[in-house]
Structure 1
Amino acid sequence: MLYLYIKIFHIFSFVSWMVMLFYLPRLFVYHTEHKGNKGFCDVVKIQQKKLFNFIGYPAMICTLLSGLAMIALEPTLLKGSGWLHAKILIVVLLVAYHFNLYRYMIALREDRDMHTGRFFRILNEFPSIALIIITILVILKPF
């Protein structure tokens, strides 16, 4: 029963983390496309910081810890579960993406990022693709 409660927490944490991964690059687009409006950019900088620090980072930590807890409770999941290994790889990529977003956020805060709104729109597609693949892996368990 504990496993199921942890799984519920894992899903809630993952959804919260994905919200940040979807929305933060959108804030980067707004920030980049309105660089001339200092007041607007100041507000967006605050939103970026709060979204990352108060939602994204804690949600990522909770997602990772609850995922590890589920594996610790059911270590047999790792045996013969290629789908889980693939999911873990995608999660590692999402963590790298998460910290890459942090780099961009700091650069934008210091007014030294030179990327375009189009760049951030394209970058914003990665979490969508990752979510689709993870959903397929978890539900279908294809290998």
Structure 2
Amino acid sequence: MGLKYNGFEIATKVTGVTVLRAGGVMEKAMRSVVHPAHYGKILIVGDPTTHEPRLHYANLPPAISEHQVLLMDSTIVSGANAMMAIRICLDHGVSEHNIVFVSLLATPQGTRAIQAAFPNVKIVVSILDPHIGKDDLLIQSGYGLFGDRYFGTEC
């Protein structure tokens, strides 16, 4: 049609950061479509009493500050774990503009919390579900703890 289109340029430096365990389900798909890419891992565990996130492990590539970063976790409930993962990337020199948080299922309140704290981080989610359990703080659509379901370790 002769119209000019100013699109997006494909990033040449990409790092996928898996938030363990459940974020690992997306890593295989990323490895099959993004070549070459670097990978990192972050393990954040919620305190069983306070539900506050605690960092247990982080291993990120040395040059991550120069890369587009895809942070991968299967769910966003309160947004606390996601915000800690984002903060870890920022502490390693990654620009907010270069972070995309990818999740399968999220709550609207979790995504709003992330957007309020980090307005330049992009969030990509397949489904928003507002139903959270009052006691266990899990999404109540039968989804449960995705890592347990995926890896066959649910009780």
Same fold (TM over 0.5): no
Which has more radius of gyration? 1
Q: Which has the higher helix share?
A: 1
Q: Which has the higher strand share?
A: 2
Aligning the two structures, in what range does the TM-score lie when normalised by the shorter sequence?
under 0.3
Q: TM-score, normalised by structure 1?
A: 0.23
| Higher RCO, 1 vs 2 (CA within 8 Å, ≥6 residues apart) | 1
